[in-house]
C-alpha cells in the first residue's frame, strides 16, 4: 500500500519554463542585454546543460548558477557581473508561480489520504518564494530542497537524508512522481522506491532509465496510486 508520495516541483507542479522566461526576460533587460526569443531559448539550453552536469557531479551549485550567465553573456559578446545577474534573476524568479494543468486538483485529491513530500533541486531562497506564492506549503508533510539537504537528485544520499527525517518510513510504501528521467526517476530507482514518470509531452524515452509507471496527465495520479495500493 502506498502511504508516502514524493512529488517533484518544477514541471510537475509548477510551470518552471514559463516562470523562467518571464524572470529571465526581466533580468536581461535590466542588464541591457537582448531578450528576444532566440536568446531566451539559448539560455534555456545552457541552463539545462549546466543542471545535467550538476546531477552528474561535474559542477557545484554555485558554478551552475553563475556559469550559465557567464556563458550566455560571453556568447552575446557582452560583459556583466554574473553573480549580480544571478542575484537579480533569483529575486525575480521567486516572486511568481504558474501551475501545471491539473496540479492543484491533483494535490487537493491526494491531500489527507497520503503523506505528501516535496523533493526539488534548486535554490532554497527561490523555491521557498515560489512555494509560498503558490500557497501549497501546508499540503506537504515535508519539503526537501537540494541546496539545504546537501545533495542533489538523483543522488541516493539526497533521498536517504529525506527518509531519515520521516517518522515510520517504509520504502515499500513510497513512490516518487516527476517529469525528469535523469533526476526524479533515476533518483527513485537509486534509492529503491517506485517511480512514476510524468511525461506530459509524450516524448520518446531514449534512455535506459525505465520508470515503473508512466502518465501524461496529472488527473491520472489518484487512480494510479489507488491501483498500486490494492
Known catalytic residues are 8
Q: Which of 159, 223, 161, 169 minimizes the C-alpha distance to 196?
A: 223
Residue by residue, what is the 3-state secondary structure of the chain?
CCCEEEECCECCCECHHHHHHHHHHHHHHHCCCCCCHHHHHHHHHHHHHHHHHHHCCCCCHHHHHHHHHHHHHHHCCCCCCHHHHHHHHHHHHCCCCCECCCHHHHHHHHECCEEEEEEECCCHHHHHHHHHHHCCHHHCCEEEEHHHHCCCCCCHHHHHHHHHCCCCCCHHHEEEEECCHHHHHHHHHHHCCEEEEECCCCCCCCCCCCCCEEECCHHHHHHHHHHHHC
Separation between Cα atoms, residue 39 and residue 122, nearest integer Å? 22
Amino acid at each position: 500500500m502506498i502511504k508516502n508520495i514524493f512529488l517533484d516541483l518544477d514541471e510537475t507542479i509548477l510551470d518552471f519554463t514559463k516562470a523562467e522566461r518571464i524572470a529571465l526576460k526581466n533580468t536581461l533587460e535590466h542588464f541591457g542585454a537582448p531578450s528576444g526569443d532566440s536568446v531566451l531559448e539559448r539560455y534555456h539550453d545552457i541552463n539545462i546543460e549546466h543542471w545535467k552536469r550538476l546531477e552528474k557531479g561535474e559542477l557545484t551549485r554555485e558554478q551552475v548558477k553563475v556559469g550559465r550567465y557567464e556563458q550566455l553573456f560571453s556568447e552575446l559578446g557582452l560583459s556583466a557581473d554574473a553573480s549580480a545577474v544571478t542575484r537579480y534573476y533569483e529575486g525575480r524568479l521567486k516572486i511568481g508561480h504558474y501551475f501545471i494543468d491539473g496540479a492543484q486538483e491533483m494535490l487537493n485529491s491526494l491531500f489527507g489520504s497520503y503523506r505528501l513530500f516535496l523533493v526539488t533541486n534548486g535554490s532554497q531562497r527561490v523555491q521557498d518564494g515560489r512555494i509560498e506564492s503558490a500557497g501549497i506549503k501546508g499540503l506537504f508533510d515535508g519539503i526537501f530542497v537540494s541546496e539545504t539537504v546537501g545533495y542533489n537528485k538523483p543522488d541516493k544520499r539526497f533521498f536517504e537524508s529525506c527518509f531519515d527525517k520521516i517518522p515510520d518510513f517504509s520504502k515499500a510504501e513510497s513512490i516518487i512522481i516527476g517529469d525528469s528521467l535523469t533526476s526524479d526517476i533515476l533518483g527513485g530507482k537509486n534509492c529503491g522506491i517506485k517511480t512514476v514518470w510524468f511525461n506530459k509531452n509524450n516524448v520518446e524515452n531514449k534512455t535506459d532509465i525505465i520508470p515503473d509507471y508512466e502518465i501524461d496527465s496529472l488527473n491520472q495520479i489518484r487512480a494510479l496510486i489507488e491501483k498500486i495500493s490494492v
